[in-house]
Amino acid sequence: MDLLEHQAKEIFTRYGIPVPKGVVLYNESGLTDALAIIGVDKFGVVKAQVLTGGRGKAGGIAVVDSIQQAGRAISTIQNTKIRGLIAEKVLIEERLDIKQEYFLSITIDPDTSLPTLLISSKGGMDIEEIANESPASIFKYPIDPPKGVISSEVIELAESAGVHHALLGSVEEIIYNLYQVFCEKEATLIEINPLVVSKDDKLIAADARLSIDNNALFRHPEFDQLKNERREMLLRDKGIDYIDLGDGEVGLLCVGAGMTMLTMDLVAQWGSKAKCFMDISHGVNLEGFSAALRLLSSEQNIKYVLVNMFGGLTRMDEIAKYMLQAIETIGDRFPKPMILRLQGTNARDGVSIMQQAGYEVCTELEELMTIFKGMTQRQNEYFGE
C-alpha cells in the first residue's frame, strides 16, 4: 500500500527524519492557521496529495505568497486531473531555500534478496531520469539485515556519492532512521527525493514516498484506517486484486495475476481495451463475487464484462454458484453484456450452471475470442458506431 506524501511525512517525523513545516487541508478553510504555523516569511508551497510521481509537471504543485493566492491554488489543483487523479486534499508547506538536492531510497533488490540503499547527489528528478542522465551518480549499498546499516560504510558511500563533507554525519543519521522505518513498518520502498540541503546547510526531506508490504498489513493495525479509505485495499480485504487501468471499456474478472494479464493482452489484440484488472484468486466466496460484480456493474466506463478462469485451486462449479448468487443481490440479471470462459477443475459443471442461467459461456480461448468479437460488434452496430 502506497502512502500519501503527508502520511509518509508523519511517520518520518516520528522517526526523527526532518520534514518541512506543513498542514493538510481539504479546502481553503484553515489557511489562516496554516499561515500561522508556517510563518509569513516562508509561506508557502501547495502540493496535491495524490499517489503519483511527476506532480510538479502535471500541475499538482504551486508556490504561493499569500492566503489569497493559496486559496486560488487549492481550488485550481483540486479541479485539475493530475495524471488522471483528483486530489481530495493538499499539503501546504514552508518554502525551502534550496542549495542542493540529494536522493535517498531503500528498496528490496530481487536479485540479491537484500534491502538496498540508493543514494545520489543529483536528486530532484525521478530516479529513472537520474539513471538516464547521470547513472554514475547513483550509488548502491546492499544492507545485510542482521548487521543493518553500518555507519562507517554508509559515510564512505555518501562521500563517494558527492555528499558535502559537513553533512555526512546528518545524512548517515537520516539513512539509519530510514532503515528503522523500512524494517519496523515492513516497507517495500522508502524514498526521499529530493533530500534538500538548505542555504543554512540543514537537511530536510522535501518529499516522501513510503510503500508498505500488503502482505504484512495484518500485523500493522496502525494502517487500518488508511486501508479503509482505499477502494483497492477494501477489495483486497475481500480477496480481490483490483487495478484501475485508466481508459478502457472491458471489465476483467479472472483468477490469477498471469491469467488476468494474458486476458488483458488478448482484449487488446481483439481490438478493445481493458478498463480494470480484477484477480479474484482469494475471494472465491459470495462476499468476494458480490463486491466484484457490484463494482463491474456500477463502474460507468465498463461496457462489457469478461470472465476468464482456469481453475486449479478454484472449482468452476463453485464459481458459477457464487456468480449467480452475487448477481441476485444486484438484480434479476447482470445488467451489462457478460461472457464467461470457465476451464480447469470441475469446468463442465460450472459451464452448465451458467448456461442454464442464460449466460454466454465457453471453455476454450478461441471460442471466447469469437463470442467477444461478436458481442462488441453487435454493441457497436446497436449504438451506431
Partner 1 sequence: MNKKTRVAVAGITGRQGSFHTRLMLEEGTNIVAGVVPSKGGQDFDGIPIYNTMLEARLMQEVEACAIFVPAAKAAQSILDAIDAGIGVISAITDGIPIHDMLKVKQRLKGENISLIGPNTPGLITPKQAKLGIMPSVAYKPGCVGVMSRSGSLSYEVCHELSKAGLGQTTVVGVGGDMIRGVNFADLLPLFEMDPETKAIMIVGEIGGVDEERAATIIKKGYSKPVVAIIAGMSAPAGKAMGHSSAIIFEGKGTFKSKVTALQDAGVKVVHYPKDAVRALLSLL
Residues lying near partner 1 in the complex (CB under 8 A) are found at 108, 110-111, 113-115, 127-128, 131, 145-146, 183, 186, 188, 213-216, 218-219, 241, 243, 245-246, 254-262, 264-269, 273-274, 277, 279, 281-282, 309-313, 343-345, 347, 365-366
AA letter at 256: G
Nearer to partner 1, 141 or 310 (CB): 310
Nearer to partner 1, 85 or 183 (CB): 183
CB of 73 to partner 1, least distance (A): 27
Nearer to partner 1, 110 or 331 (CB): 110
CB of 1 to partner 1, least distance (A): 11
CA distance 34 to 64: 13
Nearer to partner 1, 265 or 328 (CB): 265
Nearer to partner 1, 183 or 233 (CB): 183
CB of 256 to partner 1, least distance (A): 3
Nearer to partner 1, 93 or 279 (CB): 279
Nearer to partner 1, 121 or 345 (CB): 345
CB of 216 to partner 1, least distance (A): 4
Question: Residue 285 has which C-alpha cell?
Answer: 466466496
CB of 243 to partner 1, least distance (A): 6
Answer whether 330's CB lies under 8 Å from 294's CB: yes
CA distance 185 to 131: 28
AA letter at 80: T
How many residues are present in the chain?
Answer: 385
CB of 258 to partner 1, least distance (A): 2
Answer whether 337's CB lies under 8 Å from 375's CB: yes
CB of 213 to partner 1, least distance (A): 5
- Strands 43-48 and 61-63, bridge-based pairing: antiparallel
Nearer to partner 1, 156 or 213 (CB): 213
Nearer to partner 1, 47 or 236 (CB): 236
CB of 354 to partner 1, least distance (A): 19
Question: Residue 160 has which C-alpha cell?
Answer: 563517494
CA distance 305 to 268: 14
Answer whether 188's CB lies under 8 Å from 220's CB: no
CB of 232 to partner 1, least distance (A): 11
